[in-house]
Every structure is written in structure tokens, then in C-alpha cells.
């Protein structure tokens, strides 16, 4: 039996509990995060791609290249993009996404309205404020769904920071809440880490709630307090982070591929 992928598992959980909003949110979170292989009519022409369409309404994607090959039955051109990149690419297009059609238990048709909802959800931006932390406390009364969502997000944030801690905080002048504190984050990754934290909160199924995000240098005195009382999340590390290869079409969020 072929091993189930994370997308297969999220899809199965959603289908097993059709009235569970949290399960449905987790499925869409996986769609946004995973690498998907978009079937093309021809090899990319610079930054332009021409996807194969199903019923003139859906781009055809797979979460494994082997599944794409099984669907086509032969070698075929494709481009690998995250689900969020594909959602952005389809902005302004009346197109949905056909996922793993005919080759996996997670096959599903996501209409254009679903892709529009995903784009809108992913577009939510966090506000920025400056305030001083008065006390750092252990996190309290947080739902397990949020902890799991943060853990899943940060498991893909390879090399972006040395580590992260979730704590409760009291701010100078009043106010309290929870803070996801990143230590030793590289500057160019901070926006991505804020987005990851925001999406973890959004896709955790919590109807109302807030979580602050902060960045601390390894030598900051606050780090010792974080390590003492906080819930730690380990981010995968890699070597050679500064030597980033040239990105394939669509991999740069600032330069999404263009549909022909």
C-alpha cells in the first residue's frame, strides 16, 4: 500500500468529520503549505506557464511527482509550487484546483470560490506595535489545536531561526497575552515567521484569539526567561543558508508565474 501523505491524512480527517470546521481548516492549511506539482501543456516559457485544465475550470495538481506521472502515464512538463503560490497565481482567474484526481485517496475538486477564500485567508496581515514586556510567565489554557498548528508550521521553517518559545506575558502599562518569541531569526525571514504564526492561529479553528510575535537576539536577557518558563519549538536547521540557489519559476513570492 502506498504511504499516505500529509495531504491524504488531512483530507481523510476532513471527510470523516464533515461538520468539523477545525478539520476542514487543517486541510486547507495543508493545501497552502505543501508543494504541489502543476501539470503543464509545455515547459515554462520564462515566467509564463500554461497549465493543463480539467473541464476548462480547474488546474490539475498533485502532491507527489509520482502521482502526476501515474495520472499522465508518461513523462510530462510540470512546475512545483506551494499551494499558496498557486492560489495567488489564480487571482483574477475563474479557476479552481483539481487535486490528485484519479490517483490518490485525497482527490478533490476545489472550485474557484474555495481558492478565493484561501487567498483572502492567507492575505490577513498582522499589525505591528512596540511595547515593553514586564513579566514572562508559562503559557496557560491554550488549546491543543493551536500548539499543534504552531508545531506544524515551524517544522517547515528550516533555518529561519535558532528556536522559538511560546509564553504568557504581561506588558508594561497593562495588558497581557501570549507571545511566540523567536530567537536568532535571520532578518529576511521575519516576515515569513510572522505570517506562519498568524496562519497557525487562523487555521487552528479558534474563533477568537490573538497571539503576539516577537524577535530576540540570542544575547538578549529576556531569552533566559523564555527558556525557563516557555514551551519550546525547535526549528529544523540547515547549513549553507546564505547560499540560496536561483529560484525556479513561481518560487519567488514577489514574482509569481504568469498564466498564458
pLDDT single digits (tens) 115-129: 999 998 887 655 555
pLDDT tens string 42-83: 998 888 899 999 999 999 999 999 999 999 998 899 999 999
pLDDT at 85: 92
Give the mean pLDDT of 178-194.
Answer: 91
Grid coordinates representing 174 are 497593562
Overall residue count recorded for the chain in this entry: 260
Least confident of 42-46, 83-87, 98-102, 179-183: 42-46
Report how far residue 110's alpha carbon sits from residue 91's, in angstroms, rounded to the nearest whole number.
14
Grid coordinates representing 61 are 495538481
pLDDT at 138: 94
- All structural domains of the chain, each given as residue ranges with its CATH number in brackets, are 6-123 (3.40.1350), 133-233 (3.30.300)
C-alpha dihedral, 147 to 27 to 88 to 126, nearest 10°: -20
Report how far residue 213's alpha carbon sits from residue 15's, in angstroms, rounded to the nearest whole number.
33
* pTM score, whole prediction: 0.69
pLDDT at 153: 86
Amino acid at each position: 500500500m502506498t504511504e499516505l501523505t500529509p495531504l491524504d491524512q488531512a483530507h481523510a480527517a476532513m471527510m470523516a468529520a464533515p461538520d468539523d470546521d477545525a478539520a476542514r481548516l487543517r486541510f486547507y492549511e495543508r493545501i497552502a503549505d505543501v508543494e504541489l506539482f502543476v501539470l503543464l501543456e509545455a515547459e515554462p516559457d520564462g515566467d509564463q506557464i500554461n497549465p493543463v485544465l480539467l473541464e476548462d475550470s480547474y488546474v490539475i495538481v498533485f502532491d507527489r511527482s509520482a502521482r502526476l506521472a501515474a495520472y499522465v502515464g508518461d513523462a510530462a512538463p510540470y512546475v512545483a509550487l506551494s499551494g499558496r503560490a498557486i492560489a495567488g497565481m489564480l487571482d483574477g482567474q475563474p479557476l479552481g484546483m483539481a487535486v490528485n484526481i484519479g490517483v490518490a485517496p485525497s482527490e478533490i475538486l476545489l472550485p474557484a470560490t474555495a481558492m478565493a477564500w484561501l487567498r483572502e485567508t492567507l492575505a490577513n496581515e498582522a499589525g505591528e506595535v512596540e511595547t515593553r514586556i514586564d513579566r514572562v510567565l508559562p503559557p496557560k489554557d491554550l488549546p491543543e489545536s493551536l500548539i499543534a498548528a504552531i508545531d506544524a508550521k515551524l517544522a517547515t521553517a528550516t533555518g529561519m531561526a535558532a528556536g522559538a518559545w511560546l509564553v504568557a506575558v504581561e506588558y508594561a502599562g497593562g495588558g497581557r497575552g501570549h507571545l511566540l518569541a523567536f530567537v536568532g531569526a535571520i532578518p529576511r525571514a521575519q516576515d515569513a515567521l510572522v505570517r506562519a504564526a498568524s496562519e497557525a492561529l487562523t487555521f487552528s479553528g479558534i474563533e477568537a484569539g490573538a497571539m503576539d510575535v516577537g524577535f530576540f537576539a540570542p544575547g538578549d536577557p529576556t531569552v533566559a526567561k523564555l527558556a525557563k518558563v516557555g514551551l519550546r519549538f525547535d526549528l529544523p536547521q540547515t547549513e549553507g543558508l546564505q547560499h540560496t540557489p536561483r529560484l525556479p519559476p513561481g518560487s519567488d513570492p514577489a514574482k509569481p508565474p504568469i498564466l498564458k
